[in-house]
Structure 1
Amino acid sequence: MLKLNNVVTHYGNIQALKGISLEINQGEIVTVIGANGAGKTTTLKAICGLVNITSGKIYFQGKDITDKPTSDIVGSGIAMVPEGRRVFPRMTVLENLQLGAYLNGDKNQINKDLERVFELFPILKQRLKQVAGTLSGGEQQMLAMGRALMARPKLLLLDEPSMGLAPMIVSNIFDIIQEINRSGTTILLVEQNAHMALSIAHKGYVIETGKIVMEDTADNLLHNEQVKKAYLGE
């Protein structure tokens, strides 16, 4: 479904990604784990067209999306939940969700998608008229995920969904990620909580200083001694 071939990116003179190659099949949850500054977020931004690619190619459903405008990439079926939620704080919950559907002109479909979001995140239905900036961190994360789902993505990119959240909320968010996947959405998950990420993923990649240094099934990575020492605190 998604394929990165030797993707290289730079921030000025600094090489951020040094030839990243990875593959995601339809229906999978794939996770990328690694330390802060390893290139996890940059990988997601490269997929979305938010950073320029110096060399390499990105393919989505067999089509070359390298250097396409972000709006075209979203239109093709990729949506991203950015690190730090990035909800529109002065807009209501409903307005934030409606913005996620800006490419969809079908009101009936938008209403159906809203109902689907409320099934996954019942709290958002209770907060519809509330200004997003007044929500708790967990509620803002749910809103950011709901907003991305309003774009009806085939592939959902999640950047650090557990960041800054209480353990009970994190567990709830990860249950919902699995539910979204079971309903047919493929997921690429970037996450510092490596244990949680590997426990729900099918496959995992380990990234260090802009390079993929390991790839395997999530279960194998979870039991890999190197991964345990470096990322699982064991």
Structure 2
Amino acid sequence: MLEIQNLNVYYGAIHALKGINLKINQGEIVTLIGANGAGKTTTLRTISGIEKAKSGDILYKGKSIKSLSAPDMVKAGISHSPEGRRVFSTMSVLENLELGAYTRKDKVQVKKDMDYIFSLFPRLLERREQYAGTLSGGEQQMLAIGRALLSRPKLLLLDEPSMGLAPLIVKEIFSIIKDINKKGTTILLVEQNANMALQCAHRAYIIQNGKIDIEGDTESLLNDNKVKEAYLAG
């Protein structure tokens, strides 16, 4: 579904992504894990058109999308739930969700999809008229994922969905991510919580200093001594 080929991204003189290669097949959850500053968020931002690559290519369903704008990425079927959630704090939960469907004209189906989001996240239904800024961190994360899903993505990019959340909420979020995938959405998951990410995903890439260091199926990586020592300690 998506293939990154020898991608290089710079921030001024800083070489943030150094020739990375990555592939996601339809129906998979693939996780990209690594330390702070390793290049995880840059990878997602480049896929979704927010950052521009200096060289290399990004193929989506066999076609290059490297030059598409971020809004065109959404229209193509790629949606991005960003790091830090980035909800619109002075807008209601319902208004935030409606923004996720801004490219769509099929109002009847949007209503059905809204009902689906509320079935995934019942707390959002209870708080639909509240300002998003009054929600807890976990509720804001649910809102960010729900907003991304309302564009009906074929590929969902999730950036650090567990960041700053209590362990019980993290467990709930990862359970919902699996449910979303079972409904047919392919997911690229960026995470610092390597243990949870590897238990959730089918395959994984480990990025270090802008380069892919290790890749493989998650079962083998969970049992890899190098991975255990570097990412799963404790």
Q: TM-score, normalised by structure 2?
A: 0.99
Matched position secondary structure for 2:178? helix
Query: What are the superposed Cα offsets for residues 194-216 of structure 1, whole Å, 9 maximum, x if unpaired?
Result: 00000011000010000001100
Matched position secondary structure for 2:87? coil
Aligned-partner Cα distance in 1 for 2:170–2:124: 17
Write out the 4+ residue segments of structure 1 that deviate beyond 6 Å after TM superposition: none
Aligned-partner Cα distance in 1 for 2:28–2:122: 25
Question: 1:181 deviation in Å?
Answer: 0.2
Residue of structure 1 equivalent to 2:101: 101
The AA in structure 1 aligned to 2:92 is T
Moved more, 85-94 or 60-69: 60-69
Residue of structure 1 equivalent to 2:24: 24
Gaps of 5+ in 1: none
Query: What are the superposed Cα offsets for residues 167-200 of structure 1, whole Å, 9 maximum, x if unpaired?
Result: 0000000000000000000000000000000001
CA RMSD of aligned residues (A): 0.6
Identity value in percent: 61
Question: 1:109 deviation in Å?
Answer: 1.2
Query: What are the superposed Cα offsets for residues 48-72 of structure 1, whole Å, 9 maximum, x if unpaired?
Result: 1111100000001111101211111
The AA in structure 1 aligned to 2:31 is T
Does the 8 A contact of 1:82 with 1:158 survive in 2?
Answer: yes
Residue of structure 1 equivalent to 2:198: 198
Aligned-partner Cα distance in 2 for 1:74–1:13: 30
Matched position secondary structure for 1:53? coil
Does the 8 A contact of 1:45 with 1:51 survive in 2?
Answer: yes
Does the 8 A contact of 1:53 with 1:67 survive in 2?
Answer: no
Aligned-partner Cα distance in 2 for 1:127–1:14: 43
Gaps of 5+ in 2: none
Residue of structure 2 equivalent to 1:219: 219
Map 1:52-91 → 2, pairs under 5 A = 52-91=52-91
Map 1:1-12 → 2, pairs under 5 A = 1-12=1-12
Aligned-partner Cα distance in 2 for 1:105–1:99: 13
Residue of structure 1 equivalent to 2:210: 210
Aligned-partner Cα distance in 1 for 2:51–2:24: 20
Residue of structure 2 equivalent to 1:111: 111
Task: Indicate yes or no: 2:128 matched with 1:125.
Answer: no
